[in-house]
């Protein structure tokens, strides 16, 4: 049975200029086909506003913190844009004509992959009780999904396979809710491809508000 068609949800391999073009084309296409995509989690107006900031920073004359500022601005765009892309895939359920209206490039067919290398996970507490924000580094393979294993820091079992599981899908940035406030958790991230062997990141400890 053939797999359902999907649009891309990971654009980390794209240069800043190409990424800007992809987001712009998609927002214009979604505006032109607004009636076909009612319920998008993020408005194209919000995405384009953040994209304008991103483009303004990256095209300024060179200054000391420009690379860091550009990456931070791109991340703000990416969180909103990839959330929309994931929503569109779920909404369209493989409907190719509908997916084309999104203006986002299609995912390539999955290819056999070796065991994936380790990712890097970064964690931050949020302003909301019991939540931790995560950022997972990108793996340069097609159609990679990501996951997180987590447990209380006090747990003496150091095998992540026995910890709790959080599915990230194709989105490398997000929120893990429902945690105990002011309690240390240890977490590892990993990529999921065609190879069944998982490679876990180094554990990181974080405590939600």
For residue 158, give every residue at least 6 positions away whose Cβ sits within 8 Å of its Cβ, in sequence order, or none.
none
Contact 169, 87 (CB under 8 A): no
pLDDT of residue 110: 55
Mean pLDDT for 78-85 is 94
Residues pairing with 173 in the sheet: 135
- Nearest C-alpha neighbor of 119 from the set 142, 158, 151, 146: 146
Q: Which of 123, 115, 130 is nearest to 188 (CA)?
A: 123
pLDDT at 10: 85
pLDDT band of residue 111 (cuts 50, 70, 90) is low
Pair type for strands 132-136 and 121-125: antiparallel
* Chain position carrying tokens 């340069």: 140
Let me know: does 205 contact 188? Beta carbons within 8 Å. no
Euclidean distance between CA atoms 54 and 184, whole angstroms: 34
- Report which DSSP code applies to 164: E
Residue 106 is given by DSSP the state B
pLDDT average, residue stretch 132-146: 87
Which pLDDT belongs to residue 2? 58
pLDDT at 139: 87
Instruction: Give the pLDDT mean for 77-86.
Output: 94
**In angstroms, rounded to a whole number, what is the distance separating the alpha carbons of residues 18 and 55?**
11
Query: 63-67, 76-80, 103-107, 194-198: which has the minimum mean pLDDT?
Result: 194-198
Residue 17: how many other CB atoms lie within 10 Å:
11
Listed in order, the ranges of the chain carrying CATH 2.60.40.10 are 121-206
Summarize pLDDT for 6-39 with one digit per residue, the tens: 999 888 878 999 999 999 999 999 999 999 999 9
Q: How far apart are CA 59 and CA 74, in angstroms?
A: 13
CATH number given to 121-206: 2.60.40.10
Tens of pLDDT, residues 158-197: 999 999 999 988 888 889 999 999 999 999 999 998 888 8
pTM of the model: 0.61
Residue 143 predicted with pLDDT over 80:
no
List the strands of the sheet with 173-176, edge to edge: 121-125, 132-136, 173-176
* Beta bridge pairs of residue 174: 134
| Residues whose CB is less than 8 angstroms from the CB of residue 38 and which lie 6 or more positions away in sequence, other chains included | none
């Amino acid at each position: 049975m053939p797999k359902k068609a999907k649009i891309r949800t990971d654009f980390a391999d794209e240069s800043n200029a190409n990424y800007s073009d992809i987001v712009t084309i998609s927002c214009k296409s979604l505006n032109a086909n607004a009636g076909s995509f009612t319920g998008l989690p993020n408005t194209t107006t919000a995405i384009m506003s953040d994209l304008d900031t991103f483009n303004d920073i990256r095209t300024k004359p060179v200054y000391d913190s420009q690379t860091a500022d550009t990456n931070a601005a791109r991340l703000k765009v990416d969180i909103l844009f990839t959330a929309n892309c994931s929503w569109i895939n779920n909404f369209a359920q493989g409907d190719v004509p509908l997916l084309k209206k999104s203006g986002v490039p299609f995912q390539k067919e999955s290819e056999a992959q070796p065991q994936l290398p380790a990712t890097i996970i970064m964690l931050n507490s949020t302003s909301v009780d019991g939540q931790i924000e995560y950022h997972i580094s990108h793996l340069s393979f097609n159609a990679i999904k990501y996951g997180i294993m987590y447990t209380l820091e006090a747990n003496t079992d150091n095998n992540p396979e026995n910890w709790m599981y959080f599915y990230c899908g194709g989105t490398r940035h997000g929120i893990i809710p429902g945690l105990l406030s002011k309690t240390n958790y240890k977490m590892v991230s990993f990529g999921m491809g065609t190879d069944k062997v998982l490679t876990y990141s180094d554990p990181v400890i974080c405590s939600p508000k």
